[in-house]
Amino acid sequence: RKEVEQDPGPFNVPEGATVAFNCTYSNSASQSFFWYRQDCRKEPKLLMSVYSSGNEDGRFTAQLNRASQYISLLIRDSKLSDSATYLCVVNISPGRRALTFGSGTRLQVQP
Amino acid sequence: GAGVSQSPSNKVTEKGKDVELRCDPISGHTALYWYRQRLGQGLEFLIYFQGNSAPDKSGLPSDRFSAERTGESVSTLTIQRTQQEDSAVYLCASSREAGNTEAFFGQGTRLTVV
């Protein structure tokens, strides 16, 4: 089982749609969680951190479910510019410290 | 500079040659990471440096791969006797602390082994 797993997609949605991605992680001791965004042939950039109580940033909402070991990202009112690959990132083991990336979920927002 | 800088941006090398990739992290960032991304795939962890602690080399795929970092500054990733399967984008990232703060990535070095 992969340490961090994501549905690769692609998710093809129309502009204005709401779309949600999930990501599961294997180590229940994981402590830090993030969503990164990667545009085609570009480097990944932080989209948002994921806090235990859930957090929102504009059209984006991130949630953490420790019991089921998954995090989610909800995008409301999708824009064409949201088209990208969304990477789930976990600090899998506090003893290890390096960030572990999922393979990413590709989103294509269509006009 | 303001961001993470990697050089070269592109490198084409013949199979069997050695290559050295360079990463200049953001000043003051104690943590530095190297990842590899093959075409259409996710990021594969290679090695991680944190201050003066021993590096976490658990992701290096073979003994042909090695990396060094001088203090909290420049890092070099060396691949000896390159193989075609080494072709990928090599991404370097740095962060203020390890594991729980934002990691900033460089634009990567695209390595092509022919």
Shortest distance, CA B114 to any CA of chain A (angstroms): 21
Q: Which residues 64-103 in chain B show a CB within 8 A of chain A? A: 91, 98-100, 102-103
Cis peptide before B8 (omega within 30 of 0): yes
B24: enclosing H helix or E strand: strand B19-24
Q: What would you measure as the largest C-alpha separation in chain A, in angstroms? A: 45
The larger pLDDT score, comparing residue A79 to residue B52, is at: A79
Query: Tokens representing B7?
Result: 């050089």
What is the average pLDDT across A18-32?
Answer: 92
Shortest distance, CA B50 to any CA of chain A (angstroms): 9
pLDDT of residue B40: 84
Tens digits of per-residue pLDDT, B59-71?
999 999 999 998 8
pLDDT of residue A29: 87
How high does pLDDT run on average in chain A?
92
The Cα–Cα gap between B60 and B41 comes to: 17
pLDDT of residue A105: 95
pLDDT of residue B41: 87
Contacts of A3 in chain B (CB under 8 A): none
